Structure 1
Amino acid sequence: MATAEVFEFESHPGRTLSLLLFTDVTNSRELNTLLRAGKLDPELALLNAALVPGTLPVLLAAQKALTLQSRKGLITKTLHSELVYSYSGSKHITESLKRCGINDEMTYILVARFDATQAELNAARQLIKGTQVNLLNLALKYSKELITKFYKVTPAELHVSTLEEAIICRIGARDAL
């Protein structure tokens, strides 16, 4: 199902990823506290949306997380934190979760939930105190400066590819480096 507000992606047979995008979030400190305590209900991946120029890199990170889970090889504690870690181009778990996850002041958040029910999506909407917007806004509101800094994208690379392609390259190649 793909609507203006929810993107649902089918990966492994019977597995889905739902995405919700929020702006003007006012309770990121509360969300971060719940997340770190493992008390976020429902469990969600909360990504710094400023680092997300489109859905394809998130889908690749989700695929990696699901593959690791199927091999019983999660590096982080949960499938949802594995998604955030997989989105990073870094092998450093703590740094990846800090950069690609949320912080206490964040107002622009991409929410991801594996195998979400409608009730869980509604609960996520209630949990996030902000304005849910169309996922197409990802392409309009990302931060080129943050992406080039965190992913170490060079100007020469941007002459032959896009920021989204650069992130995809790093997500895919991270474990091989």
Structure 2
Amino acid sequence: MKTFEIGGGTTLSLALFVDVTNSKELVDLMQTGTLDPEVAFLNASLVSLTRRKINISFSFYNLTMFWQMIVIKSLVKGTEIGLEELEKRADQAQIHKHYKISAVELGISSLSDAMTCRIAARDAL
């Protein structure tokens, strides 16, 4: 788990898990609003990081107390690995397909920039 200060005393805690066997159960709990504490789960294969900073524009919930991460870790039936593994696990083909990014677009911008543009456009709609 890694915690980032994102301003105003607010923190963002991230953990990366592999071999998760109860993902459907976790998604069901999250969608019904019965997951406590409230968190967001991301498909790591669709996340791309830039070296300059973490640039994830998905919705997330503020996890201000360490015990909440302990609760989450106990709910996820999988193995936690270091965040440095995230970039290696990104599925470039799936990212291109999911965000509908063409080779022409990548000729004039980076993959991270194209993804950020798509996410920002969705948020604006």
Q: Give the TM-score, by structure 2 length.
A: 0.84
| 1:117 and 2:117 correspond | no
Equivalence for 1:26: 21
TM-score (norm 1): 0.62
Q: Counterpart in 2 of 1:49?
A: 44
Residue among 109, 112, 115 paired with 1:164: 112
Write out aligned runs for 1:28-177 (5 A).
28-54=23-49, 56-58=54-56, 61=57, 83=59, 113-176=61-124
Which stretches in structure 1 are left out of the alignment for 5+ residues? 63-82, 84-111
Q: Secondary structure at the match of 2:36?
A: coil
> Structure 1 stretches (4+) deviating beyond 4 angstroms?
none
Partner of 2:72, secondary structure, is helix
How many Å apart are 1:26 and its aligned residue? 0.6
Q: Work out the number of aligned pairs and report it.
A: 122
Contact 2:11 2:64 in 1 (8 A): yes
Report which of the two has the higher share of helix: 1
Structure 2: gaps of 5 or more residues: none
- Indicate the SS of the match to 2:9: coil
Q: CA deviation at 1:28?
A: 0.7
Compute the RMSD of aligned alpha carbons. Answer: 2.0
Amino acid at match of 1:19: L
